[in-house]
Structure 1
Amino acid sequence: MDFPRKVAVAALSASALALTAACGSGATGSGGDVTIGLAVSTLNNPYFVELKQGAEEAAAELGVKLTVVDAQNDATNQVNQVQTFATQGLKAIIINPVDSKQATPAAKAAENAGIPLVAVDRSVDEGKVVSEVASDNVQGGSLAAIELGRATSGEVVHLQGIPGASASRDRGRGFEQGLNSGGIKVVASQPADFDRAKGLDVMTNLLQANASIKGVFADNDEMALGAIKALGDKAGTQVQVVGFDGTPDGLKAVEDGTMTATIAQQPKVLGRKAVEQAVKAAKGEAVQQVVDVEVKVVTKKNLAEFKK
């Protein structure tokens, strides 16, 4: 399986491991004073709300305290939040980077404080992490191209996520790899930052220059839903749309027929597994360096398997 993610796994010093083991020994039961920080890229997106919920459920079951901060898609703000975490005596930190490259100072702050760092959903380009919990976004991008190629042929556009996010890069890379599976050709690619409103605006502009497009791939469901609004009656009829994430709104669009398919991730599972690894790291136990969570294509045919 192709893994383009750069996972820099820290070999923590013996002293640091001893410290985290001592501090994290109460990570089960009542949890004692064990607190883990979760720095989320944004909570203005139902996908990351679900990731947070999964993390909170795992923390409650494991008896640890989880402190959650929202970077509101501001990479500088997120670095500041993690730097603050590093001064608060937390036993582990989980980061869902706004920007994988710009998360490096955050990783350095955790390293300098001797606090194990877990990356979830997106990688940290340069920095020490003890575990990376993520979907195989390259595979997901390839599956999206294959599904779009099955649904239509001709010119398509690609709505990209935040340019610096590993998920954007990996989904785009996978999409390019899967293009040879059908008769579709990308005529325009433009970021819409994983945002529904921006997806609407970008799609509206792209339609003016590409009126004959037959398909859209969006790096997440939010942008896909914005594109669907811009397309109006064309969505699902003249223009096929494929999203990514499998959010409740995305699944509803698949049910309605305005979205051809979405590549479903499991955000609650991602959040849960990130906390599980963070607690192990806090206790000085062995962690799984790479945790992959499966992605699946959702269409009307198998929609019932994913509806909650």
Structure 2
Amino acid sequence: MNKLGKIAAAAGVVAALLLSGCSAVSPTGPGGGDAVSTEGDRSVGITFSDLSNPVWAELVQEAESYGADEGLSVTYVDARNDAAAQVTQIENFIQQGVSTIIICAVDANALVNVTKKAQDAGIKVVGYTQVLENYDAQYLVDAYNTGYANGEAAATWINDNFDADETVQWALMDLPRFPEIIDRANGIKEAIAELAPNAELVATAPALTAEDGVANAENFLQANPDLKVIATIGGGGAVGGNEGVKSAGITDFDSFGLFGIDATENEIQNIINGDPQKTSISLGGGKAHGRALVDITVDLLAGEDVEKDQYMPIEVIDSSNAQDYYDEIYGG
């Protein structure tokens, strides 16, 4: 099975898990009355904007397994980029009487009333990546500086491989429907413009999944055969982009650079293998984020003084440290 086949298979597993997760979240109990959680104050509901993102799929599965180790009963659901559906999911969690709701918002503005309702019911609200109005704690990306670190890595590679007077075409995979991702993309663009002024942005397209990344890379190169660099705002686009560059006929990987964010397992493997992907920005990874959200939840439920706004680390992973990073994060 090729790499994209493995990715698709993994997505199928996640989809099956999601179906079972969704079936566990029912707005009514026996006889049609309000449901009452049987897990007391150790039950946690997680709703994510789109679990086709491989980092987030990894996160919720880790939160479920690590949460069990910490005495939590974790249920997760996928809003599939539907803000109204996410409101309903949160309403369902409130009816169940969960102790905590963890939210990666489709649209934070759409959640103002329902998150207040949750807090009024004594439920802890934990935000992830998207800034909420009503919350007890949030685990956030320093979006601009994350993007800037990615753009800086791309600019360094450009300066190391091309003359200063040589125009270097590059393309960006962004995702402009999220404010945080817009900031991330702006960081990438501004770093490259500042540090590699001979680089010319010739194409942009949104990417969340590996399939998006494949299509974008192939389209970028078909329209711009002299393209030398692709930067992405996330791991899905990076993994797919890496495969798309190869399927588009690029064979000299030393003369083409792809730069990602998230440091997913597939990204790190690509860097180790000497593929088109040269770097990725680690924010801790999906597994680490799942554990961080569980740790925040455990502290909140214990009544500890929890810092409301917490930020993910930023680390550049390249050929010099990719194997060590892989061994530490994914090796066991």
Matched, 1:165 2:178: yes
Closer/same/farther in 2, CA of residues 205 and 76 from structure 1, 3 Å limit: farther
Give the partner amino acid of 1:263. Answer: I
Match of 2:287 in 1: 268
Alpha-carbon distance between aligned partners in 1 of 2:117 and 2:219, rounded to the nearest angstrom: 41
Closer/same/farther in 2, CA of residues 261 and 103 from structure 1, 3 Å limit: farther
Match of 1:187 in 2: 202
Closer/same/farther in 2, CA of residues 210 and 55 from structure 1, 3 Å limit: same
TM-superposition CA deviations, 1:75-132 (whole Å, max 9, x none): 3322221121122111111112234444445534434544221112x123x5211111
Closer/same/farther in 2, CA of residues 198 and 99 from structure 1, 3 Å limit: farther
Match of 2:86 in 1: 78
Query: Any stretches of 5+ residues in structure 1 without a counterpart?
Result: 1-30
Alpha-carbon distance between aligned partners in 2 of 1:33 and 1:135, rounded to the nearest angstrom: 28
Closer/same/farther in 2, CA of residues 200 and 101 from structure 1, 3 Å limit: farther
The answer as to whether partners of 2:108 and 2:133 remain within 8 angstroms in 1 is: no
Shift of 1:68: 1.4
Matched, 1:133 2:149: no
Give the partner amino acid of 1:209. Answer: A
The answer as to whether partners of 1:118 and 1:129 remain within 8 angstroms in 2 is: yes
Alpha-carbon distance between aligned partners in 2 of 1:32 and 1:109, rounded to the nearest angstrom: 19
Shift of 1:288: 1.3
Alpha-carbon distance between aligned partners in 1 of 2:256 and 2:110, rounded to the nearest angstrom: 36
Matched, 1:146 2:152: yes
Shift of 1:57: 4.1
Closer/same/farther in 2, CA of residues 234 and 107 from structure 1, 3 Å limit: farther
The answer as to whether partners of 2:43 and 2:72 remain within 8 angstroms in 1 is: yes
The answer as to whether partners of 2:54 and 2:235 remain within 8 angstroms in 1 is: no
Closer/same/farther in 2, CA of residues 112 and 188 from structure 1, 3 Å limit: farther
For the aligned residue pairs, the C-alpha RMSD in angstroms reads: 2.3
Shift of 1:186: 2.1
The answer as to whether partners of 2:54 and 2:209 remain within 8 angstroms in 1 is: no
TM-superposition CA deviations, 1:226-256 (whole Å, max 9, x none): 2223222427344210011111111111112
Matched, 1:281 2:300: yes
Closer/same/farther in 2, CA of residues 139 and 250 from structure 1, 3 Å limit: same
Moved more, 98-107 or 63-72: 98-107
Partner of 1:252: helix, strand, or coil? helix
Partner of 1:306: helix, strand, or coil? helix
Matched, 1:123 2:140: no
The answer as to whether partners of 1:100 and 1:166 remain within 8 angstroms in 2 is: no
Partner of 1:260: helix, strand, or coil? strand
Closer/same/farther in 2, CA of residues 88 and 159 from structure 1, 3 Å limit: same
The answer as to whether partners of 1:141 and 1:175 remain within 8 angstroms in 2 is: yes
Normalising by structure 2, we get a TM-score of: 0.74
Match of 2:75 in 1: 67
Alpha-carbon distance between aligned partners in 1 of 2:221 and 2:45, rounded to the nearest angstrom: 42
Partner of 2:85: helix, strand, or coil? helix
Match of 2:21 in 1: none
Superposition pairs for residues 1-308 of structure 1, below 5 Å? 33-104=41-112, 106-120=114-128, 122-124=129-131, 126-152=132-158, 154-161=168-175, 163-179=176-192, 180-183=194-197, 184-192=199-207, 194-232=208-246, 233-234=249-250, 236-258=253-275, 259-266=277-284, 267-307=286-326, 308=331
Query: Any stretches of 5+ residues in structure 2 without a counterpart?
Result: 1-38, 163-167
Closer/same/farther in 2, CA of residues 68 and 181 from structure 1, 3 Å limit: same
Shift of 1:169: 1.9
Closer/same/farther in 2, CA of residues 114 and 148 from structure 1, 3 Å limit: same
Match of 1:3 in 2: none
Give the partner amino acid of 1:273. Answer: A
More helix, by proportion: 2
Alpha-carbon distance between aligned partners in 1 of 2:293 and 2:200, rounded to the nearest angstrom: 37
